[in-house]
């Protein structure tokens, strides 16, 4: 594990490990059996279920996964009946996925400069993306707003300041961050105050529909060193009973210790891209 510091000025945690470059993600997403890995990840019905809560599946309903990695979420949405697209800046990963699934609409692109027309998508997924931009995520969310139709949805996840993390902040359990102007070489990501992110999205015309904390075991593992051996055992167990118990524990602890938060927002139906 890397180290974590608290940025008091901006009320966020700064996490250090390896820089989240395209080369880093290409290396991380390599697999000896890439098709098996993509199929396994696409079997997770969580993301499609969240989309279906706000938009019924329809071949005319365009859904983007911006920062799609191997493309598993794109694949699951396509199979569920959506017109699914995915972009990522990890070119090797995208090329490998396209060779396996040439029917998928995957392309290499920057989330800050998307190759799509205004108001193109009914739903836009951002899974663990905005926290990796040291200079801020404003360009990312402005570009997201541009390509989302008025009345469309933004579904966004990022590491956040859970109750457990806020408690550790109050106890001064983190080293203080000195805010250098340029990104430290080992900067990986932020854990953000979701209220601040929400405020910026509301300023762009989005309205919150619901919020949910996720991944309680990951949050506990990151923040409570004494629990790591037990959590590691749970996460790596092949026992179906232990896996189910782990999932239940993760759900139970998510409200106080969840590593990430999911925000589902709807763009005002009267919004126009020219207003940005």
Rounded CA-CA distance 12/169 in Å is 10
Any residues with CB less than 8 A from the CB of 275 and at least 6 apart, and which? 205
Beta strands in 116-251 (DSSP E): 121-127, 148-159, 175-176, 187-191, 206-214
Element (H, E) at 254: helix 240-257
Domains and CATH numbers, the chain: 3-215+261-270 (3.40.50.150)
List, in sequence order, the alpha helices (H) in 149-236.
Answer: 163-170, 194-203, 216-223, 228-236
Closest Cα partner for 250 from 234, 268, 265, 274? 234
Per-residue pLDDT tens digits for 58-82: 999 999 999 999 999 999 999 999 9
**156/270: higher pLDDT:** 156
Per-residue pLDDT tens digits for 174-213: 999 987 878 888 999 999 999 999 999 999 999 999 999 9
Please state the rounded mean pLDDT for residues 107-113.
Answer: 98
Burial of 9 (0-12, 13-18, 19+ CB in 10 A): exposed
Per-residue pLDDT tens digits for 160-177: 999 999 999 999 999 999
Any residues with CB less than 8 A from the CB of 42 and at least 6 apart, and which? 72, 73, 75, 76, 79
């Amino acid at each position: 594990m890397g180290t974590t510091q608290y940025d008091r000025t901006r009320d966020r945690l700064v996490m250090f490990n390896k820089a989240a470059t395209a080369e880093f993600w290409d290396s991380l997403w390599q697999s000896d059996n890439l098709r098996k890995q993509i199929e396994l990840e696409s079997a997770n019905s969580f993301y499609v279920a969240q989309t279906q809560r706000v938009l019924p599946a329809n071949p005319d309903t365009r859904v983007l996964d911006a920062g799609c990695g191997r493309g598993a979420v794109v694949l699951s949405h396509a199979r569920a009946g959506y017109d699914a697209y995915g972009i990522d800046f990890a070119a090797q990963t995208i090329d490998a996925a396209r060779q396996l699934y040439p029917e998928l609409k995957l392309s290499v692109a920057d989330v800050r400069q998307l190759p799509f027309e205004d108001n193109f998508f009914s739903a836009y997924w951002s899974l663990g993306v905005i926290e990796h931009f040291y200079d801020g995520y404003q360009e990312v969310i402005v570009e997201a707003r541009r390509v989302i139709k008025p009345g469309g949805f933004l579904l966004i996840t990022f590491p956040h300041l859970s109750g457990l993390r806020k408690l550790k902040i109050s106890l001064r359990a983190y080293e203080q961050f000195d805010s250098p102007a340029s990104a430290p070489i080992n900067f990986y990501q932020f854990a953000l105050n979701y209220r601040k992110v929400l405020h910026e999205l509301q300023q762009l015309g989005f309205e919150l529909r619901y919020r949910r904390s996720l991944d309680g075991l990951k949050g506990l593992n990151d923040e409570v060193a004494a629990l790591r051996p037990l959590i590691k055992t749970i996460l790596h167990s092949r026992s179906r009973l232990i896996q189910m118990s782990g999932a239940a524990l993760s759900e139970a602890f998510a409200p106080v210790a969840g590593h990430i938060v999911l925000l589902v927002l709807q763009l005002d139906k009267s919004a126009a891209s020219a207003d940005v």
